[in-house]
Amino acid sequence: MKILLNQDELDAGVERLAREINETYGNRPLTIVGVLTGSFILMADLIRKLEMPLRVGVVQTSSYEGTERGALSINSEMMLDIAGRDVILIDDIFDTGNTLQEVTQLMKNLGPNSLKSAVLLLKTGRQEVDWVPEFVAFDIPDEFVVGYGLDFNDEYRNLPYLACLEPADLPNTDS
């Protein structure tokens, strides 16, 4: 694997995100909703740097099998009541944008006072939607990445850095 962002660079990016969110919201109470499973490390690191009163919840989505995008499933049973609240939806990566757009629409229907999104990564050139998250830590090239919560077949989430999977890292599919 080729390291794209090391641990210090990731820490600095999370610090930048927190600073932007702190400046935007000040002391206003905020509800953070993390998209599982990929955002859990980002969310844990980010909320410790936020200075306003917080509520934290999650929504679970799934759309990948290996490196291929499949049908999106959304499980919002663990999400907090967000009606009348200022909310930031936290996700690991903005790739095509389809997942975040669908989750955002679901959340808008629940009546938040305001709803913004924050992502660790925006993958350049992959977007299929007409908007981008309000808060982005890093723009990255169009490569499949793992680490810092992102996975390949449920592996590599624990890496403290972000790495690009190379062909030699993928299982042999020539059978």
**Domain edges within the chain:** 9-64+72-143
Q: Between 3.40.50.2020, 3.40.50.150, 3.30.930.10, 2.40.30.30, what CATH number should domain 9-64+72-143 receive?
A: 3.40.50.2020
Query: Is 92 an annotated catalytic residue?
Result: no
Find the helix or strand (DSSP H, E) in which 100 lies: helix 98-108
Tokens standing for residue 121: 């990564």
Q: 115 by DSSP, 3-state: which?
A: strand
How far is residue 25's CA from residue 21's CA, in Å, rounded to a whole number?
6
- The conformation of residue 169, written as its DSSP 8-state character, comes to G
Report the 3 state secondary structure along 11-51: HHHHHHHHHHHHHHHCCCCEEEEEEECCCHHHHHHHHCCCC
Find the helix or strand (DSSP H, E) in which 10 lies: helix 7-25
Q: pLDDT per residue over 37-64, tens digit each?
A: 889 999 999 999 999 999 999 987 766 5
Q: Tell me, what amino acid is at 170?
A: L
Which of 95, 139, 142, 154 is the catalytic position? 95
Confidence (pTM): 0.86
Tokens standing for residue 98: 């389809």
Q: pLDDT per residue over 108-160, tens digit each?
A: 988 999 999 999 999 988 889 999 999 999 999 999 999 999 999 889 999 99
